[in-house]
Amino acid sequence: MRSIFYILSAMIVIGLGYWAYHENYETQASLKDVRSLHRQIGAAHERLNILEAEWAYLNRPDRLRDLAELNFDRLGLLPLMPDAFGRVEQIAYPTGIVFDIANSVTVSSDNAPLLDTQLPVEPSQ
């Protein structure tokens, strides 16, 4: 009886050792993947910062003003001036009824055929 207990204990210890070994390598692989993802995220942030800097450089007001002047014949863009903007009170809102709902139609699907039933098909001539 004692020998069966020793053999069973040894098998359990070997099994647990194998499980711990396997988990250790899976953890190391997961940590390697996390480090790789962190590097990719850092590279993406760096690219994003570069793109934001380029966007800010290309959208400089003096550059856009010069481009609008150079391409005035083709595009007809006027330079932005402070007096080109209006106030909210100057917006003309519609005064009349936009939609006439006096003769409305009620739509209902109470008598509609079920989706799984097929409608009769007329023969083509």
Give the three-state DSSP class for 64: helix
Q: What is the pLDDT, as a whole number, of residue 47?
A: 97
Residue with tokens 């519609």: 94
In which residue are the tokens 């390697």 written?
32
Q: Give residue 98's pLDDT.
A: 64
| Weakest-pLDDT range from 13-22, 34-43, 54-63, 74-83 | 74-83
Does residue 6 sit in helix, strand or coil? helix
At 102, give phi and psi (nearest 5°).
Answer: -70, -40
- Please report the pLDDT score of residue 97 as a whole number: 63
- pLDDT tens per residue across span 7-19: 999 999 999 999 9
Confidence at residue 26, expressed as pLDDT on a 0 to 100 scale: 96
Task: Determine the average pLDDT of the residues in 75-83.
Answer: 77
More confident residue, 2 or 77: 2
Sign for the pseudo-dihedral over CA of 54, 57, 61, 63: negative
